[in-house]
A and B are shown apart, each in its own frame.
Chain A
Amino acid sequence: MTFQPVPATTEPTTTVPSSATGPPIPESRRGFGTDLWRAVARNRKAVVGVLLLLFFLVLSVFPGEIAPYSPTAEVFQPGLGPSWQHWFGTTAYGQDVLSQLIWGTRQSVVIAFAVGGLATALAVIVGVSAAYLGGISDGFLSLITDVILVIPIFPLIIVIAAYERNAGLFTLVIVLGALGWSYGARQLRAQTLSLRRRDFLEAARVRGERKSYVILHEILPTMTSLIVASFLGAALYAVLFAAGLQFIGLGDPNSQSWGTMLYWAENNEALGANMVLWAITPGVCVALLGAAFALLNYAFDEISNPALRLRKLDITGTRERPKDATITAPTTSDRILEVRGLSVAYASDEGPVVAVDNVDFDLHRGEFLGIVGESGCGKSTLMYAIARLLGPPFSGEITDGEVIFRGRDMVKLGDRQLRHIRWREFSVVMQSAMNALNPVLTIEAQMRDACKAHSKMSDKEIEKRSIEVLKLVSIDPIHLLSYPHQLSGGMRQRAMIAMALLFTPDLVIMDEPTSALDVVAQRSLMMQIKELQERLGFAVIFVTHDMSLVSHFSDRLLVMYAAQVAEFGNTRQLFDNPRHPYTRALLDAFPSIHGPRVRLTGIPGSPPDLARPPQGCRFAARCPHATPRSIAVEPPLFDVEGDLVRCFLYEESAAEENVRAGATEGVA
């Protein structure tokens, strides 16, 4: 088949802050250079760490210029207390303590950087090559790493240092470096192993890159944060160990260092005499330099991993909202869930990101509701908010609205009350069963844990119930003893659903439970869900990006676009007569296996940045029916024959209907 060449549907290269699924968490890697400096300047730990380190660096480079006296000249009165001439007093030999401290900085800094560098280099070489080469090389290198890791380092160093009596700087660096790399090597090996399965390495190999290039230029740059952490960790350890060794007299007693100062202070019982500061200040310096490295380590972790940072959600000034039509369905007692004006926001560096904006819907007993939309539209956030699962690492917060589940407002419930109804009255099935199931426990053990956490069932009852629910989803109860990896993808999802049904809940919330499966398994799982739902009568909220998937299964459909409800109505009605231009475009994006082959266009462009939503209709930029009005003014939801549509195209028909409705009421 040939198509007429048509210009490519272009997606403008705008920044899309959301990841593939789930709430928008900024990604961990930033470009080097300016971004990094800005991030450092904004991080308090980093600023303090950098200042401390700079302070010591300056001292170590210019001790002669800074120190008031020579550190070795025994020219003052011994054992003086602090005074303006001698801030920290003098030693038992009549030397100035402050000058000794300043001169001693150099050795600690040199040891820190030299050992950090040496240990990190060894860690990188051993860790990365072990993981990348695999097989026997990995076995051998890992063995060495582990042996060094389990050797009690301090006694060993004492033995080595004792051999090399009065160990100088060089010996210290070599000994500490040679023993300090193993921890970093293990971390780097683990990280490289997880990278090995990443496609970009396979892409590099397929491209024809050499092994050395892959290791040096493809693997190492992605591990910058780990390498830096390894360096800072080794530096910290070197400072502490060197001081410790010198303190117990294993260093060169004539060297200028904090450890040697401690050694002499201890020998002269400085603490008991008037020379307390002689004994204390070197320790404080060691602690401060160590703290500088530790702070930098924490800060770097936070900068390279923004999810760790705690941000405060700050919402000032509420947005003017258009008045939405509400569902006019009769209020009946069999409504189990009412979501009213629900809004959820995430804190981000660019201010609050409203991921769910004023969403209203209700759900009846035994109803199957589909929620569809593109990734980043807020559908998963909505689901998490309803289930009250928004917590770290999803730092989202419900900012407004209520979620009334069987008469109780879930938004106001505390953790204890939530635990009481979660799983018993409503349960959640996650997207990837492989992640949601514990890989080291059998299915039976996981079912038992769930039962024990939420009920007081006896072991007998639990076993009976586990067998029952597995049979419900057509899994042979023999698989109770299986581990998750022994089941196929389809069976794992079935097992997840079985676990969700342990307490016959009234509501099961499903987040794309089939999207990791292929069509045949997907189809059969959908059939199973529908059959169970009809048999057991629970209600389902089914979140998916694939509208066609729910077309044959859901009663009503809620189409979300850029955090808002775009259209909400009866599934059949929505598919036969889609009203919102977005719904129409979504439906036109599916190739069909029936009918003639036609060229489809998809939806040009990409969804708006939720940190800066457009002023008017959120779909306007991609909409073929956009008008100046819809670009400037946000449309409310209009009620068109019981279907809610957020589009000005339906303003008139909605108004007419209202008039008609009013007229009939008048007649009655």
Chain B
Amino acid sequence: MSEPLLRAEGLTRHFKVGGLFSRKRLHAVDEVNFTIGKGEIVALVGESGSGKSTIARLLARVYKPTSGEIYFEGEPLSRIRSRKQRLAYSSDVPMVFQDPYSSINPAYRVSHGISRALTLHRRAMGRKARRNELQRVFDAVGLVPAGAASRKFPYELSGGQRQRVGFAQALAFRPKLIIADEPVSMLDVSIRIGILNLMTELREQEGVSFLYITHDVASARYIADRVLVMYGGHLVEQGPTDDVIHRPKHPYTQLLLAAVPDPRAPLGVSDASDVGEPPKVVDPEEGCRFRARCPYAIDRCEVETPLLRDIGPGRLVACHVAEADPQERRPAAVAGVEQR
């Protein structure tokens, strides 16, 4: 297989928690492997605290990994030394932030981020070329007319328009991979689709890959080619989008799918209820991190951390129980499920 655009191997990030002399470590991301291909949209799905934003910041080099390595176009990131290399990487892999109300500096016109990107990363450009580039990226994200839009201050734009500015900034780098950290979760439902469509259009027209980070499985299904599911710092399932959505193997993926509100589904309150809490993984012991909430947990889950196993074309799942089709399996002991 040829080298993918980006490959993470054994990616791990721990944070110190507690006071000055505390030796406790929060395991935000543990031993995560994945790849992102050229022109691919990969969705990283999980609840808050599952480690998905930490992965985004590891890829953006805001954090350094505790262990493990990220390879971009075959080159390990740990070998980046000079400012020139750092700039080259950050223009290949820009990031779009979750909150469009805080990700644009309110003191400047919205073109500020783009002109800074051009100044930093594409120095050779002349005045005219820069103006054309500004025009191009504003056009590409659907902020028209570009001239008027770029002269506005952030407070003059709606949330959806601000998020478009975020993507325009990313595009100004001529990027290869855009990390989009929950880019629509703060937006109104009615304009989310516009941003999601924008991402697929940018992929078609500019050939950009995306890592789309979200807790909304339905939107992941709408745009992604592949889905990675995270729980408690572990990657618990991955595979082609429709395969994962229609035949979820990991009990957590099943829970996530059951929780999606869907007005098209027949009305009536479903009985899938879960009052569990996402785990705080501080100095974890061996064992599956989902076991306390899992209706299928067996003794083995207490003592042995399940590793990702290959269970079909492109499908990986980290669960001791997930072998048979989940529809045929019965909860082992629903009454015994720990309710915290």
Binding site for B on A (CB under 8 A): 1-3, 5-6, 8-11, 13, 15-16, 19-20, 26-31, 198-200, 202-209, 218, 221-222, 224, 374-375, 474, 476, 488-491, 517-524, 526-528, 530, 545-549, 551-553, 571-572, 575, 585-587, 589-595, 597, 599-603, 606
Contacts and interface: CB of A to CB of B under 8 A. Distances in A.
Given A11-B158, A552-B269, A591 B193 contact: yes
A589 B256 CA distance: 21
A28 B106 CA distance: 9
Contacts of A198: 102-103
A11 B160 contact: yes
Given A207-B113, A488-B277, A602 B192 contact: yes
A221 B105 contact: yes
B9 interface: no
B105 A591 contact: no
Contacts of B197: 3, 6, 8-9, 599-602
A594 B105 contact: no
Given A208-B120, A575-B263, A199 B103 contact: yes
Contact of A601 (B48, B189, B193, B222): B193
B94 A374 contact: no
B91 to A, nearest CB: 8
A602 B163 CA distance: 16
B103 A488 contact: no
Interface in B256-308: 256-265, 267-270, 272-275, 277-278
Contact of A547 (B60, B102, B107, B189): B189
Closest 7 CB pairs of A and B: A8-B142, A602-B193, A27-B155, A591-B222, A221-B107, A523-B259, A199-B103
Interface of B: 47-49, 60-62, 83, 86-87, 90-91, 94-95, 97-99, 101-109, 113, 116-117, 120-121, 141-145, 148-149, 152-153, 155-161, 164, 169, 186, 188-194, 196-198, 200-201, 204-205, 215-219, 221-223, 225, 241-242, 245, 255-265, 267-270, 272-275, 277-278, 339-340
B107 A20 contact: no
Given A10-B143, A520-B255, 17 more contacts: A5-B205, A9-B142, A13-B149, A19-B101, A26-B155, A31-B153, A203-B169, A204-B105, A488-B49, A518-B47, A518-B48, A546-B261, A548-B189, A586-B189, A589-B192, A597-B222, A600-B222
B263 A218 contact: no
Given A520-B259, A593-B257, A221 B108 contact: yes
Contacts of B161: 11, 13, 16
A603 B191 contact: yes
A481 to B, nearest CB: 17
A545 B106 CA distance: 26
A548 B272 CA distance: 17
25 contacts: A2-B200, A6-B197, A6-B201, A10-B144, A13-B157, A16-B161, A29-B106, A199-B98, A202-B97, A203-B97, A204-B116, A207-B117, A208-B121, A221-B107, A374-B190, A474-B339, A520-B256, A521-B47, A524-B259, A545-B190, A549-B261, A589-B190, A590-B189, A602-B193, A603-B190
A199 B60 contact: no
B325 to A, nearest CB: 18
A601 B194 CA distance: 7
Given A11-B194, A603-B191, A552 B47 contact: no
B241 A545 contact: no
Contacts of B113: 203, 207
A530 B263 contact: no
A591 B219 contact: yes
Interface of A is mostly: loop
Contact of A200 (B86, B105, B256): B105
Contact of B264 (A9, A11, A518, A592): A592
Contacts of A521: 47
Contacts of A585: 190
A202 B96 CA distance: 11
B2 to A, nearest CB: 21
Contacts of A31: 109, 153
B96 to A, nearest CB: 9
Contacts of A19: 101
A224 B108 CA distance: 12
B108 A575 contact: no
Nearest to A575: B263
Nearest to A30: B153
Given A13-B144, A221-B108, A594-B262, A546 B103 contact: no
Nearest to A377: B188
Contacts of B109: 31
Contacts of A199: 97-99, 102-103
Given A520-B255, A601-B193, A593 B103 contact: no
A601 B108 CA distance: 32
B251 to A, nearest CB: 12
A545 B160 CA distance: 14
